[in-house]
Amino acid sequence: MAGKQLKCVECGSDFSFTDEEQQFHKERGYVHEPRRCPSCRQIRRKTMNTRQPVRTEVVCAKCGKPTTVPFKPRLNKPVFCDGCFTQERTPTESRFNKF
């Protein structure tokens, strides 16, 4: 294998994809070459770890009270406020009671 010169999709600069990095990718089973230079990858990792979860405003399907949920609901699934969710959930549905 020979080192390759790649172009970063973020900043447009050229960067080296060394023989050692290519070997590392091969050992890990990665199929695609990196698309970002090392500095843009580091910036992206930092911003990915600091994202806040998205909160969506909805109306509870049981009591009609406005509430927010930490996900984007599906159109075919009812969404409940915390109180109604606790009442609707049976002990067998709990992911912690699988024994």
Confidence check: pLDDT of 1 > 60: no
Q: Name the residue range of residue 15's domain.
A: 4-49
Report pLDDT digits (tens) over 9-35: 999 999 999 999 999 999 999 999 999
Residue 99 maps to a domain:
no
| pTM of full prediction above 0.75 | no
Average pLDDT over residues 81-91: 81
Same domain, 60 and 45: no
Considering its fold, how many domains does the chain have in total?
A: 2
Same domain, 44 and 9: yes
Through-space distance between the first and last CA atoms of the chain, rounded to whole angstroms:
51
Residue whose pair of structure tokens reads 């509870």 in the numeric block: 60
Higher pLDDT among residues 98 and 60, named by residue: 60
Q: How many other C-beta atoms can be found within 10 angstroms of the C-beta atom of residue 44?
A: 12
Report pLDDT digits (tens) over 53-81: 778 999 999 999 999 988 888 888 899 99
Residue 84 maps to a domain:
yes
Residue 67 contacts residue 81 (beta carbons within 8 Å): yes
